[in-house]
Amino acid sequence: MFISDAYAQAGAAPDPTTAMIMNIAPLVLIVIVFYFLLIRPQQQARKRHMEMLTALKKGDVVETAGGLIGKIKSVAEDELRIELAPNIDVRVARHAVATLRSKPDPAPANDSKPA
């Protein structure tokens, strides 16, 4: 009566390459975000941890993955001997060290002359 029928008009067909790019673009964006927020920082942290493990030496205070804290008494190829308390030593695999608590203080220099 007073309202006329509205029919859909046939528009131009979308370009197939544009449609494919618009479908793939969100996936590419997600991969880029995952790389910079998850993968890259984890790789950098692993690299720092591996450098720390190779630099361990006698006298360093370390914490193992099990939560034991002690001073390194000796370093072998793939294991450490850690002193937890006086006369209590534990053999630990090198990769079980989680963090380096502190390095030993350097020996004082004898540069000062008595007055």
Residues 6 or more apart whose CB falls under 8 angstroms from that of 110 comprise none
- Helix, strand and coil content of the chain, in percent to the nearest 5, comes to 35, 25, 35
Residue for token pair 């060290």: 97
Please tell me the distance from the alpha carbon of residue 8 to that of residue 21, in angstroms, as a whole number: 26
**What are the structure tokens assigned to 107, written together?**
């020996």
Q: What is the pLDDT of residues 61-97, one digit of tens each?
A: 999 999 999 999 999 989 999 999 999 999 999 999 9
**What are the structure tokens assigned to 60, written together?**
């360093």
Beta bridge partners of 88: 85
Q: What is the pLDDT of residues 21-72, one digit of tens each?
A: 888 999 999 999 999 999 999 999 999 999 999 999 999 999 999 999 999 9
The domain ranges of the chain are 15-55, 57-105
Q: Quick check: helix, strand or coil at residue 64?
A: strand
**pTM of the predicted protein model:** 0.67
- The answer to whether 85 and 50 are in contact (CB under 8 A) is no
Answer CATH for 57-105 from 1.10.10, 1.10.260, 1.20.81, 2.30.30: 2.30.30
- The answer to whether 43 and 36 are in contact (CB under 8 A) is no
Residue 14: the pLDDT is: 72
